[in-house]
Amino acid sequence: MMRRKVLFLYGNRPQPLPIHMMHLLNSTDEYQAELLYFNREDSSVCLPLSGLLDQEQCSRVTWTVGNHLISKIVNRCIVLGLFVKRIRSRTPDVIHAWNFDMLLAARIAASTLRHAKVVFTLQDTTEWMLSPIARAVQRWAYRGVDLIFVTSQGFEARFLRRFHLIADEQEVVFVPNVPPAQQFARFKPRKPGTEVTVGWIGLFRGKKGIRTLFEAVQLARDRGADVRLLCAGKGPECDLVERLAEGNTFVDYLGPYRHDQEILDLYGKVDILYAIYDQSYDKKIHLAYRLCEAVNCRLPIIVAKGTHMSEVVETQGIGVSVELGDVEGLAQALAMFHQSYAKRMEIAVNCEKARPQFVFEFHQERISEAYEGL
């Protein structure tokens, strides 16, 4: 029996979830999955490729992003056309898009390919997607999709359903962006000491969240709590992080890192994770990969109050919620973690209880069943 060709489309260098899903499909006799991704030139949000990726099963479209609105639009239209051309040349049976621009490419290409199915994973939203015109385009795009995955339950309830972007009967499958169990099986937590280190690890974005973190750490220290800060990653606010870190002896700034090679070591240097970003609608409804990693490492996480992540954190007892911009509240939370080793251990126990739901293996059957229904 010939295996069905699945072409994954990713509008950046891919995160771990699509790679894990590719490996799952390729482990069966039914599917053969390959990847086509956008290798962004001169982009602050272009992260290093994961070492888990099989280079023989991936190809890329390399193009510049652009520095201004007009150039960004023009370049993105060019990239869209390049993707459509490459998709048609591959003649896949299934096109699995992972970003909205990639979904547009998939829908256009699928209209000229007989029997091609379209799958879409909604893993983030942006403010422009809330405008009336954008919603109309999304309704057209989503309602031609055969299968929709979401990485946060908030995306279904508070975005797709709330704004009537999909048909009432259209099924949505929840698969969070979670690591495989083996990835953190060898993780060794930091030995408790007199100081507590809070980590901002990942993509630097959200000026208010970054400034609040630095100010809160300083305030907690001024009050006698031995709190340090470790920053590792890159992103749009990388220059801000570098400026704030400069000259502060309580800050360790490590710069970019390779996730597959260094993440265990990085998490082994911190006692708490910080995951408060900005006030965008997306951040209110998403479920960050950082949360899933925190659970697997049994580390307390600090998230923004009033978000879907705060609901998960509070229900599971795996961290605390603080208002974005609340320097005083964040400083108190940091001081509490510094003073109470027992509280950190209580959260570690709760993370261990919740961990089975926060690994990729827990969701494999759901993914396979969803693909079987195509």
Q: For residue range 102-153, what is the model confidence (pLDDT) as tens digits?
A: 999 999 999 999 889 999 999 999 889 999 999 999 999 998 999 999 999 9
Residues above pLDDT 90, as percent of the chain: 73
Amino acid at 361: E
Which domains are assigned to the chain? 4-178+360-372 (3.40.50.2000), 183-358 (3.40.50.2000)
Rounded to an integer, what distance in angstroms lies between the CA atom of residue 228 and that of residue 220? 10
pLDDT of residue 68: 83
Contacts of 39 (CB under 8 A, 6+ apart): 13, 46, 60, 61, 62, 63
pLDDT of residue 53: 61
State mean pLDDT over 66-84: 88
75-84 CB contacts, 8 Å cutoff, 24+ apart: 76/101, 79/38, 80/104, 80/105, 80/108, 83/9, 83/36, 83/38, 83/109, 84/108, 84/109
Rounded to an integer, what distance in angstroms lies between the CA atom of residue 153 and that of residue 172? 9
Residue 147: beta bridge partners?
A: 119
pLDDT band for position 259 (cuts 50, 70, 90) = confident
The packing angle between helices 289-297 and 308-316, to 10°, is 20
pLDDT of residue 195: 94
pLDDT of residue 220: 97
Tokens encoding 354: 């919740």
pLDDT band for position 175 (cuts 50, 70, 90) = very high
Kindly report, residue by residue over 2-29, the tens digit of the pLDDT: 899 999 999 887 888 998 999 999 999 9
DSSP 163: T
Rounded to an integer, what distance in angstroms lies between the CA atom of residue 242 and that of residue 34? 38
Residue 304 has pLDDT above 60, yes or no: yes
Residue 274 has pLDDT above 80, yes or no: yes
State mean pLDDT over 36-51: 66
pLDDT of residue 116: 94
Residue 43 has pLDDT above 70, yes or no: no
pLDDT band for position 46 (cuts 50, 70, 90) = low
- Average pLDDT score over the chain: 91
pLDDT band for position 258 (cuts 50, 70, 90) = confident
pLDDT of residue 54: 64
**Spatial contact of 319 and 263, defined as CB atoms under 8 Å apart:** no
Rounded to an integer, what distance in angstroms lies between the CA atom of residue 65 and that of residue 87? 20
Q: Which range is least confidently modeled, 43-52, 162-171, 221-230?
A: 43-52
Q: How many helices (H) and strands (E) does the chain have?
A: 14, 13
State mean pLDDT over 354-365: 96
Residue 279 has pLDDT above 90, yes or no: no
Q: Which range is least confidently modeled, 64-73, 107-116, 284-293?
A: 64-73
What is the value of pTM for the model shown? 0.90
Residue 227 has pLDDT above 90, yes or no: yes
